[in-house]
Chains A and B, each alone.
Chain A
Amino acid sequence: MASRKTSQRSQPDGDKYSVLLPTYNERENLPLIVWLLVKYFGESGYKYEIIVIDDGSPDGTLEVAEQLQQIYGEDKILLRPRAKKLGLGTAYIHGIKHATGNFIIIMDADLSHHPKFIPEFIEKQKEGNYDLVSGTRYRGNGGVYGWDLRRKIISRGANFVTQVLLRPGASDLTGSFRLYKKEVLESLVEQCVSKGYVFQMEMIVRARQLNFTIGEVPISFVDRVYGESKLGGNEIVSFLKGLLTLFATT
């Protein structure tokens, strides 16, 4: 462990990656995602911190997070809880405020996004000095697990319509596994007002509009292991509304 720490400190570029984990009722998943993050960051030697933003989960997610902080240290696990469930955008703003890294990684805490891809994100970012690197389920070796045909059709259909209407220059718009330069995320979050799936889409569409450069890394998306995954009529309607809003305003 000691030698690992010195090798981290002697990394020439001095980049640090802050992982933002917004959580709500993730007591089962949080320890696992943190364990995986520690494993892959440890193996690759990049400097990192994990910022857990718990929105007052009634299931005791915060308690579990406190235990994790004891295990892995207060420099690695930062707890920045909020009293109640607020939007994703404000969770990012809240997290950025406390982040000490010059890069921010956002991902879901429900294990659908695997930390093993993070080193690839980082290499991709360095390769082209991209402003943001987005994980994509729709290209190369990317894919999904646990989706039935209906879900696949909706996903591919929605993606196609969006590509035609918005030509965003990125293949996965609704995914939320991304790496941003800190100042890029700051300026994007300020401008984005949508909720849910549309928020991620708006982030990447506005990124293109502001001439930020986008790199892509294929990822496998393993649908929620614990807990329920949702894609109902409401999500589809709000997606279409969001799409049309972006169509008319960007």
Chain B
Amino acid sequence: MTKLLEWVGGVLVLGAAWALVTFDLLDLSLPQTYKEVAWPMPLYLLVTFGCYSLATVGYRVATFNDCEEAAKELQEQIKEAKEDLRKKGLKI
């Protein structure tokens, strides 16, 4: 099963559950409060997920390591390598 189908399946299941409660499709005579909570739920979930995404990406950008040390080490090794290669007879 492709990821696309997994997503479509997930959305369908959730959508069906939501419609069931919100419009009381099975005539279960659910309390009014259930409907009131369920009705705006998709929007809440969307907003929550959006916030989560922004917070996660923001946090990861802020904590993305800057490898100053690695860059410095590389520069030194490049110098060393050039010298050694010249000794070994490399002509560029």
Q: Number of A-B pairs whose CB atoms are under 8 Å?
A: 93
A23 to chain B, nearest CB (A): 15
A: interface residue count bin: 35 or more
The answer to whether B70 touches A152 (Cβ under 8 A) is: no
In the assembled complex, the Cα of A142 lies from the Cα of B64 at a distance in Å of 8
Set of chain A residues within 8 Å of B68, measured between Cβ atoms: 145
Query: In the complex, which of the residues A31, A155, A166, A222 contacts B90, with contact meaning CB atoms closer than 8 Å?
Result: A31
In the assembled complex, the Cα of A70 lies from the Cα of B4 at a distance in Å of 53
Query: In the complex, which of the residues B53, B60, B67, B88 contacts A145, with contact meaning CB atoms closer than 8 Å?
Result: B67
A160 in contact with B56 given A64-B92, A67-B90, A68-B90 (CB within 8 Å): yes
The answer to whether A143 touches B65 (Cβ under 8 A) is: yes
Set of chain A residues within 8 Å of B56, measured between Cβ atoms: 160
Query: In the complex, which of the residues A71, A144, A166 contacts B66, with contact meaning CB atoms closer than 8 Å?
Result: A144
A160 in contact with B53 given A32-B82, A67-B90, A71-B88 (CB within 8 Å): yes
B1-20, CB < 8 A from A: 2-4, 7
B: interface residue count bin: 20 to 34
A247 in contact with B2 given A31-B85, A35-B81, A36-B77 (CB within 8 Å): yes
In the assembled complex, the Cα of A27 lies from the Cα of B90 at a distance in Å of 12
Set of chain A residues within 8 Å of B47, measured between Cβ atoms: none
Set of chain A residues within 8 Å of B90, measured between Cβ atoms: 31, 64, 67-68, 71
In the assembled complex, the Cα of A28 lies from the Cα of B2 at a distance in Å of 44
Set of chain A residues within 8 Å of B60, measured between Cβ atoms: 138, 156, 159-160
> A249 within 8 Å of B by Cβ?
yes
A222 in contact with B74 given A31-B85, A144-B66, A165-B3 (CB within 8 Å): yes
Instruction: Report B's interface with A, CB cutoff 8 A.
Output: 2-4, 7, 53, 56-57, 60-61, 64-71, 74-75, 77-78, 81-82, 84-85, 88-92
What are 21 contact pairs spanning A and B, CB under 8 A? Answer: A31-B85, A31-B92, A32-B78, A32-B81, A35-B85, A67-B90, A67-B91, A143-B67, A143-B70, A144-B66, A145-B67, A145-B70, A145-B71, A156-B60, A160-B57, A160-B60, A165-B7, A225-B75, A246-B3, A249-B2, A250-B2
Instruction: Report A's interface with B, CB cutoff 8 A.
Output: 27-28, 31-32, 35-36, 64, 67-68, 70-71, 111, 114, 138, 141-147, 149, 152-153, 155-157, 159-160, 164-167, 220-222, 225, 246-250
Known: A143-B70, A247-B4. 11 other contacts (CB 8 A): A27-B92, A31-B81, A70-B89, A141-B65, A145-B71, A147-B64, A152-B64, A153-B57, A156-B60, A160-B56, A247-B2
